[in-house]
Chains A and B, each alone.
Chain A
Amino acid sequence: MKSPSDFELSRRKLLAGSAASIALTAAPSIVNAQVPAVEAAVADVSAVWKVSFTVNGAARGLTLDPRTTLLDALREHLHLTGTKKGCDHGQCGACTVIVGGRRINSCMTLAVMHEGERITTVEGLGTPENMHPMQAAFVKHDGYQCGYCTPGQICSAVAVLDEIKAGIPSHVSADLNAPPQLSNAELRERMSGNICRCGAYSNIAEAISEVAGRPA
């Protein structure tokens, strides 16, 4: 804890840890198990790593506790809050970003593992004035209700179309050695890592289909 920013880091971690404990009061025995984690977060905060990568076209350098996930680096350190934290365990897809042209779960990777890489978040795809075609299609087809999963859905969808273009097969591809089809079944299978709790799936599929250039 040498600088004010280090202090802020530790305070944020402490608060995050406390919030986790409070959230778990429904299962009292788990709360005790969480306490050492909070203490550890404060005690070891001075062990930091420098990492540089490109986010949405801009070079960014950060000094981070190595525990910081890419998701937390984007949201808490670079204040790019478009990317959402859902389950934080790689199950829901809300944190999907595009790294080196590929979609990944930013919650399941450490920021320090991405030295020199090129990261695109939903903020880098388009702006409210100049939307990416996938963003515009989600608006047009009402591909959401609450919108929390939407940035992950959109990043995932953009990458899915690139994957199909690159000829990467899926579980539902009938022929492994033929170019994959742009069918509804293909899109749904490929999007299965993005959960929409409101159930806007049919509209999401329509939005992606439109951008893919085929009627849903």
Chain B
Amino acid sequence: MRSFTYERARTPAEAAASAMRKPDAKFIAGGTNLLDLMKLEIETPAHLIDVNGLALDKIEPTQEGGLRIGALVRNTDLAADARVRRDYGVLSRALLSGASGQLRNMATTAGNLLQRTRCPYFYDTNQSCNKRKPGSGCAAIGGFSRQHAVIGVSEACIATHPSDMAVAMRALDATVETVRPDGATRTIPIAEFYRLPGDTPHIETTLMPGELITAVTLPKPVGGKQIYRKVRDRASYAFALVSVAAIVQRDGTGRVALGGVAHKPWRVEAAEAQMPRGAKAVAAQLLADAKPTRENSFKLALAERTLGAVLAEAKG
């Protein structure tokens, strides 16, 4: 691990301002992804701003009838919150399907959103990777790409976003609240939070330099059957090959987002009009522009069938 200077921030605005002042600064909260990458010298921050002391660990009701989840709420606490379990079951389920008990006790809500891809070529510093070293090329394209993205890909990157939580957040239309280095705050709809790789895969979100996530807000509960189905190589403690977050109402309408298939949680609102007609119709529209590799085209069939299983479960 490269050396760094360390500070404990006292307020969100102070943390953001410090991140702007110090070159190559990073925020650290749970640390479960950042320290992993720092040990491999994939992340080499010169300065770490510990945000654990900021009082951003509450889950509070909003005036609109939703929930405001502090950026530092640990994944375990979010999944176990009685309101989340009752009204946002898809979020509890997504969280519980990810990582291990130990990691969920450490990982935070904001950190989960910001975790980096687990693409093995991103992790191997001997390989070319445009995300790790812009302009160096992509060894995943033409490499072992069974786990990679099938849609929204570019010539520069076919990495997936690894989060389960973010897929549920996308289905729930969550909003990301932030503070910027000048102290100004803003809200970003989750639909506009993640970027597709394009020719700048190293820029993964629409956050500005130094901008700190302070909370994630969920709108008023929408009811319905809420299901998160994750397909993976092991029964537990593995990243998704494909996952489906679904909210299905009694009349068969609803929302659906996919994980494991793209650089961000994949949702196409227009495709949801097809939900009463079944998984095949939804998948046809949701994955219309897919560009799989030879090794991961199975994900298209897997996504459609997983969606079919989820819709059947919602009916039953």
Contacts and interface: CB of A to CB of B under 8 A. Distances in A.
Interface of A: 27, 29-30, 33, 36-37, 40-41, 43-44, 47, 49, 65-67, 69, 88-90, 93, 96, 102-105, 108-110, 112-113, 115, 156, 159-160, 163, 166-171, 173, 176-177, 188-194
A150 to B, nearest CB: 16
A90 B101 contact: no
A163 B92 CA distance: 15
Interface residues of B, number: 41
A108 B52 CA distance: 15
A192 B236 contact: yes
Nearest to B123: A89
A67 B82 CA distance: 37
Nearest to B1: A67
Given A66-B4, A112-B50, A176-B85, A190 B101 contact: yes
29 contacts: A30-B126, A37-B41, A40-B2, A41-B3, A44-B3, A47-B3, A65-B3, A66-B4, A66-B6, A67-B1, A88-B39, A90-B32, A90-B102, A93-B100, A102-B76, A103-B105, A105-B103, A108-B103, A115-B8, A160-B101, A163-B101, A167-B80, A169-B79, A173-B96, A176-B85, A176-B92, A188-B236, A189-B235, A189-B236
A22 to B, nearest CB: 17
A-B CB proximity, top 10 nearest: A193-B100, A44-B3, A192-B236, A66-B6, A192-B237, A168-B80, A176-B85, A102-B105, A171-B96, A105-B102
B106 A27 contact: no
Given A69-B35, A109-B35, A193-B102, 13 more contacts: A67-B3, A67-B4, A103-B102, A104-B102, A156-B102, A163-B76, A168-B80, A169-B80, A170-B101, A171-B96, A177-B82, A191-B101, A193-B237
Contacts of A173: 96
A103 B3 CA distance: 27
Interface centre among B1, B36, B93, B100 (most CB of A within 10 A): B100
A177 B85 contact: yes
B125 interface: yes
Nearest to A166: B80
A143 to B, nearest CB: 18
Interface in B25-59: 28, 30-32, 35-36, 39, 41, 48, 50, 52
A107 to B, nearest CB: 8
B89 interface: yes
A89 B3 contact: no
Given A108-B35, A189-B236, A193-B237, A103 B125 contact: no
Nearest to A95: B102
A193 B41 CA distance: 24
A129 B229 CA distance: 47
